[in-house]
Amino acid sequence: MNRLWGYLSAVLVALLFGIWFTLDKTLLGYLHPLALAAMVYTLAGAFLFLIRVSPLHDKILEILHRESKVEINISRRDYLTLFLTALFGAVLAPALYLNGLNQITAVNAALLANFEVLFIIILGIFFLKETVKPKDIVGFGFLLIGAIFLSTNNLQNLSFDQNLVGSLLVISSGFFWSLDTILTKFLSNKRDIFFLTGLKCSIGGFILLVISFYLGLSFTLPVNMIPLLLFIGLVCMSFSIVLIYLAIREIGSTRTGSIYSTSSLFGALIAFLVLGEPLKISQLLFGVLMFVGILMLYKNGDET
């Protein structure tokens, strides 16, 4: 049953991030990417701490940790790991992603988010000494081909233009999110999950707020856009961060990463349905090609 909850959590994370990836495009019409990221992570951190001090906290933890072995103690090394996950996953990654999203369509950005899985594999090979099989090389190829064609608009934009720069920023964000995913594995067995996730989001939000204030960025948002911001920060971001911990603990970072990669397809479809962005057959095909590459990389892959 725990594994089932792990898989369901991973699917929900993919859906929530797909929604976040897409709806942010609307808010970027009013806010600078750094200011938007600061507001989203600050809201998420505040909401998670609010849950932690609420009467429901212990009951929620009892449900989340049922039949699971968790550690109560949080060491200094854990806090260092948490700070690194905040720096990589709540500061650098969203800053790069939103700046890239501001320059390209939400459909392309969502599909290019698949690159995170490629980075997870590469990091596993070089730092965790995982072996590479022939099918893995083919999977790498599918991901690279898909990323190249999506970032250059089917090889039509080969110059270093705005579209390519935006794509490279999104791809770079995948690298830092992959570091976040791998490091989160070492924290996923801690009991006080709302404290850890709330602290992570708060650290990221605080750093982004300081940078935004230093740059003199505006935080002004039309009243009709506030519900959207609250939905992204309080629902998409806060719940997804908690569910990532749960999924990694129950089914491992490898399986969580593979399922999470479907967020790109969720995002592309939502961008097509909600924002009315065009979804070309070529984009869909290359997105599917990247997804097939992911499946090849993770087929029969167990946690090590």
Does 304 score more than 50 pLDDT? no
Amino acid residing at 253: S
197 pLDDT band, cuts 50/70/90, is: very high
- The pTM score is 0.80
Residue with tokens 């806010």: 31
DSSP string, 245-292: HHHHHHHHHHHHHHHHTTHHHHHHHHIIIII-----HHHHHHHHHHHH
Residue ranges of domains in the chain: 2-298
Rounded Cα–Cα distance for residues 244 and 257 (Å):
9
Query: How confident is the model over 134-152, as pLDDT tens digits?
Result: 777 787 777 777 766 765 5
Per-residue pLDDT, averaged over 156-184, amounts to: 79
User: What is the pLDDT of the chain when averaged over all its residues?
Assistant: 81
Does 155 score more than 70 pLDDT? no
Rounded Cα–Cα distance for residues 121 and 23 (Å):
28
Instruction: Please report the pLDDT score of residue 1 as a whole number.
Output: 54
Instruction: Please report the pLDDT score of residue 206 as a whole number.
Output: 97
Residue with tokens 């791809």: 171
Question: Can you list the alpha helix ranges (DSSP code H) found in 56-192?
Answer: 57-64, 76-87, 93-101, 106-112, 115-127, 134-151, 162-184
Instruction: Please report the pLDDT score of residue 151 as a whole number.
Output: 57
Instruction: Please report the pLDDT score of residue 79 as a whole number.
Output: 94
